[in-house]
Amino acid sequence: MSRVHDAPQIYRCTLELLETTFFSSREVSSLYQTEPLIGHIALCYALGLAPVRYTNQGAIHYKTDLQHLNAVGVYVTPATISGAPRYQLGQFNAQPETYWSAMGNNLLVTVPTGGWAEKSGPSWYVHDGQRRRKLGTENRPQVGQIRALGPHTRAVFYLISREAYQPPAYIRLGKWMSKARVQCQAVQPLALVDEGEVRMLLAPADLPPEVLILAGDQITVKPTPLMRNVRLRGACYQLDKQTLLPCAMRFDVENLP
């Protein structure tokens, strides 16, 4: 254990969900469930550290956006749920309200007013009175269940920055842009240690190359796997008796899509 010199600004941030929050972390048959965590890349966009684009043609900008955060010395850890997560389970039905419909192979068959449909082999065709049109497949679920994080779920993450940082009081998270409250408190490291257990969530790809992971529980989520209860050998800030934070973490942009 040694004294801390030239440490960056470290903030302990508490996140409270104020609305039902959904990330499609895992899809099992017709169940779309949210893992009990908030990814660090999602937090970067929600906090306004990375640009949120109003229009997108399907391009992914992780590398460009996170390279900028590496350049200015900003890093955000994943958010670890405090206590037991609260869940809400719901159902959805995306089928249109129409007098007639049929389920095809990865598509829902409907007809316009005055039209009709016919099936030829595995394909469906729709007639509108003037022409015959073949229906294509649709890569979207029609019915299913959603397991989302419920209101008043709390989580903790850490933000490391070269400069002083003031977070927004409220942010939007997830596919439904649900509201959450953020409170941050500056933390002064007590010491530097060279080995220990990090109980909170980490992105292992973001650790410095000289850090050796000895053990841990891996969580397979996109766009990058996470780990908790990590036993490692490498420089860490001792924040309190139970909390270690690895030093010099950076976004591993080269392995992101």
Q: Indicate the pTM of the whole model.
A: 0.81
The secondary element (H helix, E strand) that includes residue 36 is none
**67 has a pLDDT exceeding 90:** yes
The secondary element (H helix, E strand) that includes residue 45 is helix 40-46
Is 119 found in the same domain as 21?
Answer: no
Q: What is the 3-state secondary structure (H, E, C) of 211-253?
A: CEEEEEEEECCCCCCEEEEEEEEEEEEECCCCCEEECCCCCCH
**72 has a pLDDT exceeding 70:** yes
In a domain, 3, yes or no: no
Long-range pairs for 127-135: beta carbons < 8 A, 24 or more residues apart? 135/104, 135/107, 135/109
pLDDT value, residue 71: 93
pLDDT value, residue 118: 77
Is 34 found in the same domain as 77?
Answer: yes
Is 177 found in the same domain as 56?
Answer: yes
Which CATH number covers residue 184?
A: 3.30.70
pLDDT value, residue 7: 85
pLDDT value, residue 94: 65
**Which has the higher per-residue pLDDT, 109 or 152?**
152
pLDDT value, residue 139: 60
Is 156 found in the same domain as 71?
Answer: yes
Closest CA to 41 of 251, 255, 190: 251
Band of pLDDT at residue 227, cut at 50, 70 and 90: very high
In a domain, 1, yes or no: no
For the chain, the domain total comes to 2
**38 has a pLDDT exceeding 90:** yes
**130 has a pLDDT exceeding 80:** no
Question: What residues pair up with 103 in beta bridges, in sequence order?
Answer: 108
Is 70 found in the same domain as 159?
Answer: yes
**100 has a pLDDT exceeding 70:** no
Mean pLDDT over residues 99-125, rounded?
72
Is 51 found in the same domain as 169?
Answer: yes
Question: What residues pair up with 109 in beta bridges, in sequence order?
Answer: 102
In a domain, 161, yes or no: yes
Is 65 found in the same domain as 22?
Answer: yes
Band of pLDDT at residue 8, cut at 50, 70 and 90: very high
Q: Which residues span the domain enclosing 99?
A: 95-126+134-140
**Range from 1-5, 49-53, 116-120, 190-194 that averages highest in pLDDT:** 190-194
pLDDT value, residue 137: 65
Side-chain half-sphere exposure of 233, counting CA atoms within 13 A: 3
Band of pLDDT at residue 27, cut at 50, 70 and 90: confident
**128 has a pLDDT exceeding 80:** no
Is 103 found in the same domain as 169?
Answer: no
In a domain, 2, yes or no: no
42 three-class SS: helix
| Cβ neighbourhood burial of 153 (10 Å; 0-12, 13-18, 19+) | buried
∠ at Cα 209 (204, 215), nearest 5°?
Answer: 45
The secondary element (H helix, E strand) that includes residue 25 is none
In a domain, 4, yes or no: no
